[in-house]
Each structure stands twice: as structure tokens, then as C-alpha cells.
Structure 1
């Protein structure tokens, strides 16, 4: 279905992909993993025809294979409505019908023209596919929970989860045989996550997916392809994500054992060579020219020791030497001791929230107390982000009260990372949030995986994962004691997610976060704030 041969790609002098080869068979479900910035999105964009490789090739079988591509964080046209988007996804049937009539008329006059016949057949095939898409649209929209949306609804009014589901609907309407999915689970609620998992598992489509959702990868992936950030090469592992972790741990343990055995043998050989050279020298110094036989033997032994020493040096410099396994560079988040707040951190009293005159949720009553870590959950579009924005002060209260307790210093991370100004570089952005000089700021950002030159990269050129890490760094530097986090794990790679979870466990303040990562909720949440049927229900973990 898809064969990739020796694909390589660099940006300037920086290699991203090096000699990548793999194949995808019909119906196969493959996950592509690796740290942020290692080239996962670049590989998908090349396969989707949106970028060109420097060398190598890839082939689809058949050549006209229907491929659906879901890019990461793709945006909509500002003036588009729901009906506009679905109409485009279904295809321009009237325009295709006119083309078919035109080719049919030409074929009447030139029935033996094989080129015209091919064009006619291609347009006819497109019409059949688009007609099928139009007929299946209601069922696809219903399965994704979008059937109730009015056609004139501006796409800018959709929640993050609804936007992701709409993009998925647009792809499914093209009836693809191969899906290239870049972070498809971002912003999806639990119900939609389960739907997507089940759909992919039972679909005959082949799938190449980039995802940092561990439960999703365990449920869907049959093979894991790991992109190495250092060598820029690809390695395949059979099984799901948990199987991959087990295999990686076994590999590391085996390499570490081999490395230790090797180093022990190198030390033994060096000691043996040194002892032999010392004995030879001792013999030579303790004998006289009248004892030539003994001296010849000593020189022969010394020569053999020198030969062994050169052989050992060649081995140490060769590719045969086993390197010590290196742990990947991970975020070193360290929340400074936050100042204590009052016992009641966030108080909701008969609260109504929404936009202008549109009430989304009403009569909300809840209290979040110091030290609690609450996960705010509920279906896409139910008002989770609106509640966070209201609590953070960026949206006005429509009715009732929403207030912060004594000595509460809130820090808010938005879902779309809109708090970042694309006109500044990473260093300037951080310094606007933290009272640190350039040297200390660069040292701080280094903990968040920004190397020496990365700090001068404009925000608009950073990857989504880099932007997430920059936002986290700014929040930590401000010394907040109440974190309002809207999907904070989106775009973080898997090692960084684990590090972020551990940092939250160590955080001494209070947390309210919208999150759909099931592993994350199980590990760190002390309670759930669940929005269900317009009501806010607190569930203690």
C-alpha cells in the first residue's frame, strides 16, 4: 500500500530524517513516536505531498490511492461556516458533472481517443466517490456528534474538540484507504476518543498516526515506529505502546550489561598490558649486555604488549564498541515553592457563564480548596474552556459570583496557546514574564529543552510542542499558586508528559485543569469536576 525508500530531509544544515525506510500494508495500524521536533510531522507532510524530501522516494499502491491527511493544529478560513466546510469535503459535484458532459461530447466525435477516455473515466470515478460521500455525510456527522450544528454556524464558534471532529469528518467523507493522522486525539472528549479508537480498530483503512495519548496508542497501535532525535533514523517495534516501552527497557538493560562487561574487559586488558610492559622494562633494566637472550625475550614481550595496546585503541575508536545507553533529554520542571493561599481558592456561587447574551452554563456552585488537583471533564462544547476563562478573569461573569480566595496568584494556559505573541522570540517572550536577566533566563529555558540557539527562534516558527514548553516555563517563573490549565498535555511528547505529571505531583498549590488524557487523570487528579447535562458535579477520586 505504501513503501518508503531511504527518505532523507534536512532544514539547512540540520538533518531531520536520515535514510528512512518502512512499509504500510492494507489495514495496518502504525504509530509514529519520538520527542518533539524529531521530524514526525515532517514525515507525515512529505507523505501527504505538502513537503519534498531531499532524497529517497515513496510509492503508493495503487498510485492513485485515496489518502486522508489530518494535520496538527490546522486552522479554518475565518469566514467559513459549517455548511461551507462540509460542502467542500463532499466535493464539487455540479462542477464535476459539467466536466463529464464536456468529455462525453468530445468522445462522441473522437470515440477512439484513449486520452479523452481516461479523463472521462477519472471524472466519472470522482463523481461516484463524491456522491457516496454526500450520501454518507449525515451518518458520519452523527457518529461524530456534529449532526445538530446549524449550517450557518461560523467555524470560529466551535470548541477545540468540535474543530478536531469536523476535520475528521471532512477526511472520512473522502473515503480514504490510508489515513495520516497528526495528533488526532487533541481536544477530543472521552466519548469521542472511544469512538475514534473503535472506528480505527474496525476500519479497513491503514493508519499512520502521531499521538502522545498513551491509552490511545495502547488500544490502536499494532506497530510502533520510533524516530530517534539524535540519529534521525527509524526503528520498528511490534505491538502497542506498552509493548514498545517493555522492549525499549529490555534493549537498554541489555546494552547497559554489554557496556559494563566491555568496560570491565577493557580495564582488565589495560592492566594486563601495563603489567607486561612494566615487567619487560624491569627485566631490561636488571640485565646486562652479557645476557642478550633474556633481553631479546623481554623486548619481544614489550613488542607484543605494544601491539595489544594498539589493537585495543583501534577497538575503542571503532564502531564495534558498545556505547553507554543515554537517557533522552527531558524537561526538568521545578515549581518553586508557591506562596500559600487561603483555604478556599476558587468559589463559584450561582454562577452563569457564556459569551455576550448566550448562557452556556448556569447556577454553578462549587468550591476548590487549597492543594486540590481537580480535572475538569465533560463533552466537547459543554463549557469547560468557558469556565476556565471565567475563573481566570478573561471572560466576564454573566450572573452570580466567581471569586478567588485570599492570596491566590492564578496562572492560565490556554488551549490554543494564544497567550504567546508570534512577533517575539522565545527568550524575549520568557523575559516578559520573568524578572530574570538573559543568562538566568537562558539557563531556565534550558530546563525546558531550549538549547543555546533555540531561544532566539521566533514564536511563530516554534513547533506546537515547543510553544507548550515555553508557555509552561513562563507560568512556572511567575510563581503562581493556582494553575488553570486548558489541555496542558496537548503537543507535549510522551517523556515530557510523564515529567509534567511528576512536577504537578510536587506542586504545592492548587490546580484546575481540562484534560482528556486518561493515564494523566488516574495518576494525578484528586477529584473530578464533571459537567453533565448543564450541571457541575464534583467527584472525589
Structure 2
């Protein structure tokens, strides 16, 4: 099979004849391909055709430092996988290895024959370089093979017009080519291009712009658009929602949910993962653990796994302590020495396994010989006792922030009121807010496209700008804590402790105690501000705001640049805060957990809704559907006006999330069964159709039961 050249800089095709790709203008040569094959970075899977890609014992080392090691993975043909983990753990590195762009220190990657991989790098904005062709021309290049077929059809039309005796042969050839052209999407590829560009937020005004004139965000969207049009068998996307507004993210979600192949996504967008993936790979310094289900399902499974591992670890240590106690008591007795010696050998082997593979490996069911550890002479009794006593119970749970908000005086019942306010700048009206209010204890979330006026509205509410017209009335007794402003005021040359004491006149011991509650412990307090990660800066700002006595927090994109652990930590802090919150964010997971009001800037108007984000979407969907089956849901999804942080309410929220996760999984099952039934119907396999029909009926019945449970829980 000859290789079809690919000019797409982020898309890599792997076929039985070779690997094709171009990275920032450099093509993969045949010599490089041979080197890859020689180094066994890519092999052809013969045994397991159901897997598109496999990896065995991958590792990356820098001298004596192992970034990760011993990672084995499998990607099924229809997998939808979310790869998550803290920043710096190696997620992007392992993606590059799987895409063939980096050689691992150890291990190999294997791939099925005649399959293609498309890879969107996180730093993909550099890929176009100085190329001057337009966005639309770049998209058309994907369908060059269709242009060639179109030219062949046109040539046949010319020949048929002048045909004499061979018209029948020309008509037959024309019919064959036309059918192939239609099956390949020849009559709708331009519609696909337009839908994809518009879906990702690239309007017609950008279609004819040169690639090298695009902004960074526009380049990322253009790259993602071309990748989706290529339709590779495996999509590998590193932070695909960066630079996308909410409409574009939701469009991408729907596209990936219906993607016919496999998808592997690195993302910190928890809501996006909840909607798209059915498997979570959690990457930590210890390796990758696999969880089946959505992100919300992963959270529940992770909690259960933590509890199980802690319980088993305690049981194993208790057993080993009992063993060494027996050895110590019976070592010198002639009648029991042989038994004590046998037990000492066993304990010595187990300590060797624990040292190399961890305490949980004792429950793996493997035989001693399978570990490949040499059976040297046993430890002496004292060494064995010390070794067992030194075993630490693994704590897989990340440390929790313990927020300590200073007592604050309550504001008035109304925190802010807006009436017929026109927001913007002279000569540039952005939107109108007709009748808006925010009460004490609520959390309002402000959403809207980039450039719609969200930050401008915050400045108006904080009194930094005047509305063009109308009235904005702040409430009585407000003490405002402004997250963005606090971030800007951090001095980069200071240490965490210096910066904290600059803001708060506090003894070092008290300051360190407060910072420890926000996970700045030990030497962490001496880190320079310039060296902090996004998550660490966010934690420091929250530690400062907690002592402001603020009863009104204004947060402008607080989760930007935060990894999932940092987002979870910030969420915990805000859930424990009993004051009023005004939040600007694209983080729908955070929005859904905190919001009691949703404010969305749309068509130059501020739309208001009492409830969380999921309820708002349900209402919007019901309205778009003309109210069919929508009124019942709208009535049920009116949230309380004040946030309730009670244990009962939190448990109800967790129960709702768990139930919604099961509903999403059931929806995916129904969609999959429907697609399979449609395919089987075309093949005429009636027994299979009957089996699938029964499964679909059961799934739909269960879906109805789950929806009834959901409605009852929401109505409580």
C-alpha cells in the first residue's frame, strides 16, 4: 500500500506501510520511520485486533530521576478515555510517546494495522508557523482526494458529451466513480467544513484570514477543526477545550460523544469529561490506575478504592507484626525454631516485595517466583522487626485544605441590585441588565462568550466603572474580596511567608499555622511567588482572602491554569464559605456545584435563572423543544435562593451526582444499542436484531426508572 502524504502538522497516520507526519514544518522521513521500527517503538498488533493501541512497561527517566515507569495501557477501538492527574506528572509526555513523537526510556507501543492517529498537542498554536494560506483553504486540503475524484467526474462528463460508440462504457465508469464519490462524502464535505468551523467558534469573518494572522486561540481552533475533519481512528487531544467558549465546548462534546472511533483526552474540564468519556486513567507518580465510567463515577470509585487500600494495608501490617512477634518469642526455643525460621524467610520475602512493589502487592495473588526478586538469605530477626515496624500505611488521598475563614459581619439582605443598566463604554454598549439582584448567601455565576462584557460588568458592580445608563445599587455593609485583584498584587520576589506577612500583621508561628491549612507546609512557605504553580497561587490568594473578613467574594476565572486536584481544593474552600459569591468561570463543574443563580450574557441581554448550571441547561433545552416534556422539569429544578452547606444537603448533592452519572451512562448504552441495531438491520441478521431489541427495551425501561428517581430527589 502506498503512503498518502499528510500535510497536517498535528495529525499522524500510521498504516501498515509506514508512519506519516509533520511537526512544525519538519516531515517524518523514511529513515526516521525505519529507526522507529528498528527501536521497536511501533510494532503491528496481530493478536488483539479489538485494540487500536497498546503500550507495555513505558518509562521516562532523567538520569536517576524517574518521571514515570512500568506503565502499561490498552486503547480499545471504541474507547472514550480521559487522562487526568496533577500538573507535572507526565500526562503530555505519555501522550507524545503514544503518538510516536517521543521515544520512551523503557517499554514499547504497539498499534493495529491500517489505523490512523490524530494528535492535538497542547502547544499546537506553533504548528502553522508562517503559512499564509487561509483557514478555509487549510480545511479544503483535507479533502484533496475528493477534488481529484471530482475532476475525474468532470473529465468523464466532457468525454460523454463527445462520445460516439463507447458511451455505455463511459456511463458505467461514471456511475462507479459517482457512487464512490458520494460514499466518500463528496457532496457534503463543504457543509462539514462550515459546520465544524462554526461549531468551534470560528465565524465566517475568520475563514479567509491567513493562518499566520490568527490569534493563538484561533490557531488552536483551526487545528482542532482540521483534525476532526480528518476523522482518524484514534483522536488524542491534549487540553482541547483551551481557548473555546462554552458554546464551542458543548459542540465539541456532542461531536466526541458520537465519534465512531476511539478518543483519548487530557483535560482539567471535569464537566467535559463527565459528558464525553467512559473510562478514566488517573496518573500519579506511582503510575496509572484505570476506572470505568464517567468522571463523577470515578470520584465515587476512587473514594471506595482509597478506603479499601487503607483497610487492606492495615490488615497486612497487623499480620506482619503478629508474624515477627511470633518469630521473636519462638526463635530460641528448640521445639519452635524451625517454624520461626520458616516464617522469617516468608517475612523477608514479603518485605522485599513491599520495598519494590508496595504493600498492596501482597494481595495481588502472584506467586513469589513471579516477582523476579532473588531469594537471598533471610533477614536477621532484628532487621525483620525493624522492617515491619517501618512499614507506612499508604495514604493515596491528596491532602485536604482546611479553610479558616475569619468571622465577618453580615452584609444587608440585598448585596447588589441592578435596574435597566446599560453596560459598556462610551460608543460601545455591550449588553443591558434589566432587573437583577443578588441576596446574602447566594452564589451567582456570570457566563458569556469571550468579549461579551463579563469583566466590565464586574467592574461596574464593584463601583470601578459607571453604567452607561440605569442604576446599580450596592448593598449595605459590604466587605469585598476580589480574587483577580489579589492575584495581581502578589509580589513575585517574595516568599509565600513574606507575602502573607506583608498582607497580614501576624507572628510567624500563627502565619505558618494558617498557611498550613492551605497546604503550605514545612519548606513550602519559603517558595518564591514567581516559582508557584497556578494552583499554589490560587491557594495563597484564598488564604489571604480568608483573613480579609470579606462577606462578598468576587472571583474572575479562579480555576484558570489549575489542574484537577487544585480545582477540587478550591471548590472545597468555596463550598465551606458562607458569604455571598459572584463567580465568572468557564468551569461548569464548579459552576454546577456552587451556583444558586445563573446569569448569562446572550444577544446583548443578561438572562437570569434561579438554579444551578445543570438545571439551567435543562430549562434551555426544554424551551428549545417547545416545552415538550419540559414543564415538569422546569418546575422541579428551581433551586433554593441561599446556599445550604448542611451535611444533609451535601449528601443530597452527592446522591444527585451519582444518579446523574448513572443516567449519562445509561444514555450512552441506549445510544450504542440503537446504533448497533441500525447496523444489524442493514445486514439482515434477524436473531441478532431480536437480541438487541430486547436489550434496548430493557435499557429504556431502566432509563425511565432512573429519571423518576432523579425527579423525586430533585423535588425533595
Give the TM-score taking structure 2 as reference length. 0.55
Residue number in structure 2 paired with 1:300 = 334
- In the alignment, structure 1 segments of 5+ residues that lack a partner are 98-127, 281-298
Tell which deviates more after alignment, 14-23 or 390-399. 390-399
The 3 A distance-change label for structure 1 pair 466 and 49 is farther
Residue number in structure 2 paired with 1:317 = 351
Query: Partners in 2 of 1:12 and 1:532 — Cα distance?
Result: 54
- How far residue 204 of structure 1 moved from its aligned partner, in angstroms, is 2.8
Residue number in structure 1 paired with 2:440 = 370
- How far residue 511 of structure 1 moved from its aligned partner, in angstroms, is 0.3
Secondary structure in structure 2 of the residue aligned to 1:196: helix
Query: Partners in 1 of 2:140 and 2:120 — Cα distance?
Result: 15
Asked if the contact 1:65/1:177 (under 8 Å) is kept, the reply is yes
CA offsets, 1:112-167, max 9 Å, x none?
xxxxxxxxxxxxxxxx99x9987743221233344354669999x99999887566
- How far residue 382 of structure 1 moved from its aligned partner, in angstroms, is 3.9
Residue number in structure 2 paired with 1:7 = 58
Give the TM-score taking structure 1 as reference length. 0.70
- Which of 396, 411, 431 does residue 342 from structure 1 map onto? 411
- In the alignment, structure 2 segments of 5+ residues that lack a partner are 1-51, 148-183, 361-391, 611-638, 640-716
1:32 to 2:88 alignment: no
Tell which deviates more after alignment, 335-344 or 83-92. 83-92
Secondary structure in structure 1 of the residue aligned to 2:409: coil
1:523 to 2:620 alignment: no
Q: Equivalent residues in 2 for 1:279-294 (5 A)?
A: none
Secondary structure in structure 1 of the residue aligned to 2:88: coil
1:412 to 2:483 alignment: yes
Residue number in structure 1 paired with 2:556 = 486
CA offsets, 1:492-531, max 9 Å, x none?
4445444433322221321011245454444332222233
Asked if the contact 1:221/1:239 (under 8 Å) is kept, the reply is yes
Residue number in structure 2 paired with 1:107 = none
Asked if the contact 2:53/2:109 (under 8 Å) is kept, the reply is yes
The 3 A distance-change label for structure 1 pair 55 and 460 is farther
Residue number in structure 1 paired with 2:256 = 200
Query: Partners in 1 of 2:273 and 2:349 — Cα distance?
Result: 41
Q: Equivalent residues in 2 for 1:106-505 (5 A)?
A: 136-147=192-203, 149=205, 168-169=224-225, 171-173=227-229, 175-185=231-241, 191-229=247-285, 231=286, 233-269=287-323, 272=326, 299-301=333-335, 303-304=337-338, 307=341, 310-311=344-345, 314=348, 317-319=351-353, 321-322=359-360, 324-343=393-412, 344-354=414-424, 357-378=427-448, 382-392=452-462, 397-402=467-472, 404-405=474-475, 406-413=477-484, 419=488, 424=493, 427=496, 430-431=499-500, 434-435=503-504, 447-449=517-519, 463-476=533-546, 478-505=548-575
Query: Partners in 1 of 2:543 and 2:473 — Cα distance?
Result: 26
- Which of 47, 50, 73 does residue 22 from structure 1 map onto? 73
Query: Partners in 2 of 1:164 and 1:18 — Cα distance?
Result: 31
Tell which deviates more after alignment, 325-334 or 200-209. 325-334
The 3 A distance-change label for structure 1 pair 439 and 319 is farther
Secondary structure in structure 1 of the residue aligned to 2:93: helix
Query: Partners in 1 of 2:497 and 2:208 — Cα distance?
Result: 41
Residue number in structure 2 paired with 1:121 = none
Higher helix share: 2
Alignment coverage as a number of residue pairs: 484
The 3 A distance-change label for structure 1 pair 357 and 30 is same
